[in-house]
A and B are shown apart, each in its own frame.
Chain A
Amino acid sequence: MSAPESNTASSSGSGPEQEPGLDPGTAEELEQERAREATGPVGDAAVDTAGRLAKALHQTMSSPWTVSVGAVLLAIAAGSIMIAFTNDGVQEASAYFFARPLDTFVALGQAIGGAYSALFRGSVVNLQATDFVTAIRPLTETLSYATPLIAAGLGVALAFRAGLFNIGGQGQMLVAAAAAGWVGFGVSGVPFPLHLLMALVAGIAAGALWAGLAGLLKARTGAHEVIVTIMLNYVAFYLIAYLLATPGLLQAPGSSNPKTPPTPESAQLPPLLGDRFNLTWGFVLALLAVVGVWWLLNRSSAGFSFRAVGENPRAARVAGIDTGRATVSSMLVAGGLVGLAGASQVLGGVTTGFSSDIDAGIGFDAITVALLGGSSPWGVLAAGILFGAFKAGGTTMQAAEGVPSDIVLVVQSLIVLFIAAPPLIRAIFRLPDPNRRRAPKKKPKATRNRKEAAA
């Protein structure tokens, strides 16, 4: 009963040559395999430094973050092509490309470089500015645009983590804006901080209820939240449109436009950096929301049950977690966060009175932000600021370089498209797949076998 020597002649074909598919992760995987087989109880002291480095590298390379960054880079590259095509200078120069090819490349460089530097100038720092305020103004604009995106993005991300696809950002924002706005201009005689607080609470509560309705329907009847939230978007949109067009409800008195009265100063979010900037305390609220959601998801009992239900509802149920309650409460919180976005619009962004386009597409952009941020609070913060920068810089890009701001939207959409296809990003950037070992698939026909057989 002895183990036979199993090395045969066949090893000749695969001696020292590196296997082409070998990636940086293999060393670490082997490490793990070994550790799994190790007889030691906990941990494995034999993991050497090189192994740790390889492991860290592998984790970085296979993390969803790297995919997000790759998607952004790829989308910006694709955007360059769009900019080049739409640029007049490039079009002119390419007309005599074969006579003077250099002109085309110069024009290309000018168009693409100009566009992206305008994007930077409009969103981060204006280096052409003469005074400090003008110089850093773009950054504050970015944060200002980012405020509702972060809040609403958190709402979508939180629902994601609980296994729910919240498409209802638009509807939740609209009802939140209506509620906050109504408390803002409808209630009078309340002093500043209290009035603002009332309006904020009204907005958050309205958003929470609107989303909670979808959660309740899902938990009680099994109605799919995607359909319900989409339909609630329509309900909210047309309901607000009706309220805006009806005197005595949301419509400004004495006006025939479907628009509300302006938000009184006592209910406005005060400016964060003084009157010369548009940035309000709403951004601070968004930051607090980021920390709050992080705590909720990672440190609280409720968040634990949300994540458990999101990852494996069956196991959560067997472990005694009330999945229905988790569904409803996660949607309530998610709606409250989107409600914060809606309220911050009315109480900070657009205080001159609003109409039914107050959501400004943020409810849907929030889905993108949540996806790009990997549904983690810090990721949403980063993604929200990136999208805020696109919004702030897009205008400058159009004004200064004549690049259609639609191109920015194309870039945004491409980011999402690339994120939705992680294998594509991994293939382009040659990143390892974190799930590969768990689901081994049949590899493409290896040619080496044939060679061996022939030999």
Chain B
Amino acid sequence: MRLELRGITKRFGALVANDHIDLVVQPGEIHSLLGENGAGKSTLMNVLYGLYDADEGEILLDDVVQEFAGPGDAMAAGIGMVHQHFMLVPVFTVAENVMLGHEQTRGGGRLDLEAARAQVHEISARFGFHVDPDAVVEDLPVGVQQRVEIIKALSRNADVLVFDEPTAVLTPQETDELMAIMRQLRDEGSAIVFITHKLREVREVADRITVIRHGKVVGEALPTASDAELASLMVGRSVELRVHKDAPTLHDNGLKVRDLVVTSESGTVVVDNVTFEVRGGEVLVIAGVQGNGQTELTEALLGLEPDVSGSITLDGKELVGRSVRHILDEGVGFVPEDRTLDGLIGEFTIAENLMLDRSDGPPFVKGGALQLGYRDQFAEEKVAEFDVRTQGITTPVGRLSGGNQQKVVLARELSRDLRLFVAAQPTRGVDVGSIEFIHKRIVATRDAGVPVVVVSTELDEAVALADRIMVMYRGTVVGVVPADTPRDVLGLMMAGISPEEAKGRGEVA
């Protein structure tokens, strides 16, 4: 089925999320929609799926104008969507999830689970999915859950499949498998829309590429285009994709973590006997799939975790059991994983957020009184130095874009005398232009002789920034390897396979 979007415009108040977007997706084609966070990709797809009503424009399937009042209409017309956040009921089985919403019943309103099972079997067999219809969804790995989503869409005879940032939660291996599935679906004649902001994936799998920026189509490209070309289209200017850094100069100072165990409130061990060392002047990237204990590890470094055993020493001083205040005063800079929740106070101004971690003493406070003159001068300086795009330092930080918010956090954390810098997911939800800037600042901090710990789930970022990479899996350290370790080895390690075995497998392959 041929999908055509004509002049789709969607406004939220004065914000034009989609501005006359045209898009044609042919059957048997993977059409990639490339754009930064906030470019309007998801809005467009929500319009297509009937979740939003377009202010202007029309949707055509095989040249027939469609009217979708909701997702039900879109599904009935043959559009299936695989959401970034799975729309599955965790405690239901695969078959139950697949039939959800279009249940077939037998006499007396009894569910025809057998029909759903048969359907799951049939689709699984066709695509080699190996999905058990009776497995409970919450017990399945993320990659398999995604296949359940795909089965769900296919079970409704979807001819147009939309994948919304499908690789965000996958290991590199799972990503490869997903791409194989997408190709297979294409070869069977589906029209596929693949939404992403990861350049590598686009070039690997897309047949055609449409780039969106600020709600407008800014260009089309072929997968033969280079990363740099695609990135500059996406951002609107040329972008440095590589992180330039010299060989590390190691110093004797540093962070030593020994036998660290962090237990969550529910009593499960989330960081399991972790030991590592970071020396001044090097970047250690903690890689791994989201939710394998990285978050808790960094929070333990800052003293945020209540139940911690083992030892964390910074330049010989023990940090376990100390208050957050004390640890900050020891010279720890911390960029939390979720900046809106943990890093910033949205209602506070930029100037106020920049002094958030120093609100109890000089230079921001004297005799219990805030030094407004100093605060504002400091804020003006930092806004200029970190290139925060804003109307002024009194703007509430919640009104800034993700990248500018992250620059505010970074400006605050890097403006103290640091002896350790910890950044969790420093570039998540940040535009490409800001990523470049943030990476440069992290490398500059390392070059100043500070030990740097970066948590990243993006392999590209890990490889670009790291001097050494530590891979975590289910709370344990799988291994610490050099930054030039091949991607497939890192990918296998992220699935819990030891570096030695991973290297062996990598060589065989």
A interface residue numbers (CB < 8 A to B)? 1-4, 6-11, 13-14, 25-27, 29-30, 32-33, 35-39, 41-44, 298-302, 304-305, 307-308, 311-312, 314-322, 436-438, 440, 442-443, 445-446, 448-450, 452-453
Contact = CB atoms under 8 A, between A and B. Distances in A.
Given A42-B384, A300-B368, 10 more contacts: A1-B220, A6-B217, A8-B20, A10-B9, A10-B56, A10-B57, A300-B369, A302-B368, A304-B359, A318-B302
Nearest to B413: A319
Contacts of A30: 14
Interface residues of B, number: 75
Interface in B26-54: 51-54
Contact of B22 (A8, A27, A42, A301): A8
Contact of A37 (B214, B229, B334): B214
A299 B21 contact: no
A98 B220 CA distance: 75
B125 interface: no
A361 B391 CA distance: 46
A318 B304 contact: yes
B399 interface: yes
A6 B7 contact: yes
A359 to B, nearest CB: 32
A303 to B, nearest CB: 8
Given A8-B6, A37-B214, A43-B392, A1 B219 contact: yes
Interface in B54-85: 54-58, 65, 67, 69
Contact of A321 (B218, B327, B359, B365): B359
B60 to A, nearest CB: 11
Contacts of A322: 323, 325
A438 B67 CA distance: 27
Contact of B67 (A25, A307, A436, A453): A453
Contacts of A7: 7, 20
Interface of B: 6-7, 9, 12-15, 17, 19-22, 51-58, 65, 67, 69, 214, 216-221, 225, 229, 233, 302, 304, 323-325, 327-329, 334, 336, 341-348, 352, 356-357, 359-361, 365, 368-370, 372, 380, 383-384, 387, 389-393, 398-401
Contacts of B336: 318
A44 B395 CA distance: 13
Nearest to A35: B391
Contact of B380 (A11, A14, A42, A449): A42
Contacts of A26: 13-14
Nearest to B237: A39
Contacts of A1: 219-221, 225, 229, 233
7 contacts: A3-B216, A6-B7, A37-B389, A301-B360, A302-B368, A315-B344, A318-B336
A311 B344 CA distance: 10
Contacts of B344: 312, 315
Contacts of A317: 304, 324
A304 B370 contact: yes
Contacts of B67: 449-450, 453
A160 B95 CA distance: 49
Contacts of B334: 318
Nearest to A13: B56
A452 B55 CA distance: 10
A2 B216 CA distance: 12
Contact of A305 (B233, B359, B387): B359
A54 to B, nearest CB: 11
A311 B392 CA distance: 21
A10 B58 contact: yes
Given A301-B365, A301-B369, A320-B325, A6 B345 contact: no
B376 to A, nearest CB: 12
Contacts of A442: 51-53
Contact of A318 (B13, B219, B343): B343
B391 A320 contact: no
Nearest to A317: B324
Contacts of A3: 216-219
A301 B216 contact: no
Nearest to B328: A320
A274 B221 CA distance: 85
A437 B65 CA distance: 30
Given A319-B357, A453-B67, A41 B345 contact: no
B328 A6 contact: no
Contacts of B325: 320-322
A315 B340 CA distance: 8
A442 B71 CA distance: 13
Task: Point out which of B344, B359, B361 has the most chain A C-beta atoms below 10 A from its C-beta.
Answer: B359
B15 A311 contact: no
Contacts of B365: 301, 304
Contacts of B14: 25-27, 29-30, 33, 437
A320 B13 contact: no
B342 A318 contact: yes
A314 B218 CA distance: 40
Contact of B341 (A42, A304, A314, A443): A314
A308 B7 CA distance: 45
A321 B22 CA distance: 50
Given A10-B7, A32-B399, A42 B390 contact: yes
Nearest to B398: A438
A317 B343 CA distance: 10
B63 to A, nearest CB: 14
A6 B342 contact: no
Nearest to A30: B14
Nearest to A318: B342
A317 to B, nearest CB: 6
A448 B55 CA distance: 8
Nearest to B229: A1
B357 A320 contact: yes
Contacts of A321: 325, 356, 359-360
Given A30-B14, A446-B53, A312 B345 contact: yes
A10 B15 CA distance: 19
A300 B370 contact: yes
Contact of A320 (B54, B55, B221, B324): B324
